[in-house]
Structure 1
């Protein structure tokens, strides 16, 4: 059975290749005829494979429509002989004529065919199930072949990322994928570098249920992302000429989303964060590239301090189910 199924899968793949080639070569005038021919070829192959499966299972093939067992005996109809003399038949002649009449009557009467020895009547339901099984096998084979040609974006991205981390001596810190991942990753990095989150408490808006926890806003392990969101929104408002030309909505609405919602952060937010905290942000991409965002004017910071104020982030596009995601990266100890 396995050998038959393997042959059936190959036949289905070969037919699909032929059908694909025929449809590619079709023109507007010939398309309908080509489609009809492709449907016929597929139907014939499915029926052939279903019959082979039924035969392998010990089920007889459906009988061929038509007239069979035509065992009629040939006989000649007696010719009446005209003669001038009408003599009375002798006993020998009478017996002969009687025999010929019997043959004529036998020939004129439809003979009953001898009962043919037929196999067991085929089970139509089993044949239908076998045909469907063959079709499902063919579809599974095609799907499996297509799957082997698809790119494993998730696996490739993770492999490239891990290689980059190893090369740069970085360790990944998982961040919760909740819409605040960019700001939470920044808060984690600022904490590891010993840089304060420095929010203006007057500009941090908290839901009423968390007003009593205002002190936790400066802690990256709790609501640190809120502090980073507040600093980002403040910086954009204070330097709106640098950001408004790149916005697709009013400034107030844009900064409100940064401050109060779980809106994802992007390029503008990264620029604001780098300048507000005076840090260089390095983002490792899924294809191995490293995007660097400069902090802008850091004249008040000496070269040694500037070299320490570097943040590393991992940016994923395929690995996480919710879509784009940032994780924090720290130097291996």
Structure 2
């Protein structure tokens, strides 16, 4: 009995620890998605609901498995409850409370069905996008090289194609420093993605600080800065639009990134490229010399 009780307590403590770790992960996910980006935040909230549901289901299954392994322990608990004075029992839920609980359960079920439908829709878009990109890259004798979706993907894709050693932290720092030194070149293009309203100079400088301090996504502003820092063109290939070349004034062979709108559950993503096969024409990956 004591062993089963100790194991039960350890399991409950582990469950509490896992819940705290999940909440920390969820907070990190929320911090990484700008509030102005409604599309990413909507998908992020769906992912949060899925993670919480998965953990709740996992913990419930573990509790049920424990109860099956130690049925005697449940019998003793039942006996102890039977001995309790009924006056000490919590009051039965009211009819109104039961209605509220039923409505809440139905709302959760509807939200889960909506999330499932949206995930299926996203999977269809993702498959179509991957097929188009495969064809575009194949014509260049290239294929995608997967980069982790951790908020640093754009910088990691750049890092992957450089012949010299450089850290993501260094790329982020140098990008922020360049943008801070050339505010007037970037500020006219720094605006709210939803409304198009221009941000202030202080907003821009704060944005640059976040490049260094957080795993914030990189975009065309950062790519423009990196093309100047590396003095190299950067070509961004995408499925449904023509390729974008940033830094065309430079003559070196471009670095090539693949922009994917539907690759990740949290939103947009950048991958690197590699030769389609060894020894093929144009088989060497883009490199900075």
TM range (shorter): 0.3 to 0.5
Tell me which structure has the larger Cα radius of gyration: 1
- Normalising by structure 1, report the TM-score: 0.41
Which fold has the larger relative contact order, with Cα–Cα distance below 8 Å and residues 6 or more apart in sequence? 2
TM-score between both structures, scaled by the size of structure 2:
0.47
> Which has the larger share of helix?
2
